[in-house]
Structure 1
Amino acid sequence: MPSTPITPITPGVLGRFVHAEEERLAERPRTLPFTVEEYRSRLDRLRARMAADGIDTLILTSPDALCWLTGYSGRWYRSHSSTRFPSVHCAVVHLGHDRLFFVESPAHEMLVRLTTWVDDFVGAPESLDGPDASPEEFAAFLGRELASRGWAKGRVGVERWSSVPNPAGMRAIEAQLAGRGCTVLDASLTIRSVRRLKSAAEISVIEQAQSACDAGLRELHRQARPGMTELEAWGAYMAGVIAAGGEPTAMHETVAAGPPMPLLHGVSTRRPIGPGEYFHADVAAAVHHYHARATRPFTMGPASGPVTRLSQIIAGAHDVLLQMARVGLPFRQLHKAFRDYFAAEGLGEEGIEGWAGGYELGVSFPPDWVGEFCWDSSDDRTEAVIEAGLVTNFESCAHLAMVDTVVFEDTGARLLCSLPRQALDITA
């Protein structure tokens, strides 16, 4: 029996209420982070790269690629769900058409219409939400949809480096395409290469994310006290991020005490941070899923001599970046400058490895925020050169770690984090 009395409702009232709510939702305007013109420009650049790579049809499945091209933002992509829920998310682009279509569960049609600029929505069969659903059923449905448009032929690109769909789903899609006579190839780099250099609009959003990240670190600095657990410190950081307009990111924003490696690749725990300890906030913040990063060492009380000296060394690597980096410079020359810098600071004589580098930042969804392009001071063979519009994090490490976000521009490198580059003391 119900614990509270059931409120009587006149017949028909519930149905009218639900119908009115659905109509009200349908009237809600789309909310896009960027203009439709920005998204169309991305589609044009993607189709140009498809032509260069010899791809006729491209099936985008990764959450970050879907968001980058269409604006779509969800939180359930079925990548690691029950076997009764195969992934049904994709956007399909054809070389000969300036329109794309979006496939999703019919239950998410309104979510697609509210968060994307795409008008051509194709609902997956409702049976794919039932107990007998299978990846093969979705693959067969997608194959029929492509064939009906004349797109199930030639060279078809898929994202083999995406976790969506999972391996079972990707195998089914590739088998379906091959069975229709298509040549299937991995187009992960086709998509990622177009996304690498950021537009002015994208950089503006990353700057907003950096402001939120910085606000979170300042709030952590304000709230931190000896005895606070790592999780409580993380909560203080996130409170500052959210208050400043930021969002949670694609990975856990770790606060951890002790040596940064391997602890910063773990998660925050309920371990208290004691007086005199040092810890790192190895964090990021996002706006519209675009990420910016920062890491600073903190000390519960005045920093020891070794912590102060190591902080000065890793902070100095940021100056090397600002002095050296310019558009057209081979990354291997920048890498050598970092190796020379750390050697001059005497780290080798102390048996400590100094390292600097970074990875591409941009729009990211769980489980990772690490973008495709990576660079590091140990690489003396890369042929990559610095390009305007590239945005990466910048990590400087010598036992301690200090991280920033760097935008490579025509005028040089620009660091976004506004916090001082030093160990931050916490005085109770």
Structure 2
Amino acid sequence: MKNIKEKLLNKSAILGVIGLGYVGLPLAVEKAKAGFKTIGFDIQEYKIEMVNAGKNYIGDVVNEDLDKIVKSGLLSATTDFSQVASADCVCICVPTPLDEYQQPDISYVKSSAESIVPYMHKDMLIVLESTTYPGTTEELLKPILEKSGLKCGVDFHLAFSPERVDPGNLIYKTKNTPKVVGGITPECTDVAAAMYESILEAPVHRVSSPAVAEMEKILENTYRNVNIGLVNELAILSNKMGINFWEVVDAAKSKPYGFQAFYPGPGLGGHCIPLDPYYLSWKAREYGFHTSMIESSMMINDKMPEYCAERASKILNRFKKAMNGSKILILGVAYKQDIDDYRESPAIKVIAELKKERAQVVYYDPFVATYCERGVVKKGELELTAELIESADLVIVTTSHTNVDYGFVQKHAKAIFDTKNAMKHVKVRNNIELL
């Protein structure tokens, strides 16, 4: 099994990526930019058509880069999984959501693996990048792939390398973010590391097994989940005590060691932080273990949209307004600032809580003109006008986009509930209340 390393070194290897979303498309682009012929696989026709036309739909991908590599023939996309047969390395980058019972839904990983099996060949590398519970690569993926008749570690290589994508991050992208790789065997690890080293500018950190790499990814995001749960709980307490918790955090981060700043908010969003702890707590039950600290933070964070709706109701009450029938303007439905990604967005959960109380909710987001919730498309306001702001009984800031004029909002709003401290630089604050 030496040929694959030689192909990676001389860049004659053909690389594949299954799943052309926020993780897969940037990875496929970097593979092609590194000089490898790359094939992207997806079941959604519109993505295939857009990629093959050189048209981008992911914020972290540069339009010109995509157009150039497609025209050069280095990148193509298809729904035809039989083309896996021509690939030397395949990375699986498909969604791993939670089902209705808050348990891991690994059906996309499973179906991707099953799609690969008929077209596997010797000396092939397969890497799972989708975030999942520890044990997935060895317990789920390996047995499926070995149905091909090929033996893992002997006939083909298998590894796990967690995706580390932070949409909207202006410094760290796919190319310069360090990679963690854990293979079934040391040789599997080496081959997977060789692939990433031939593509990325960042270092590759090798670990002893896929399970270590899987747990590492869970640790990254659970660390953030727990700390955000802590500050959310303290923010609720500080509000009861009449203390500005945002000022508390700013004071604490003046310490040059032993403290990392985390901030409260209306809940957690994105495809990792709100979901990863559920993977771990689900797997832990197999061992009769309860992740008590993690589960406590999840309870706090999951409660924040409801808490924000309760706070909004109290603000309206001061103006002798009931939530029922009040017009509320939501500023921002993306899950974080300056991006168009609204997956698991807490803002959408806040809207749902407000609507439960019969509020009339409208939203404005300069990055998200429409969003889809349970198959229903919701349209935002096209422009943030003085008339729109003045018509609202309450404005709630749920995403701190930097291209919103918060001074203008303050000037025209009756009342503002700022859950992200987006208006911290606005000097006139008589109508602003912080989370």
TM-score (norm 1): 0.28
Q: Flag the structure with higher strand content.
A: 1
TM-score, reference length from structure 2: 0.28
Q: Which of the pair has the greater relative contact order for Cα pairs under 8 Å at 6+ separation?
A: 1
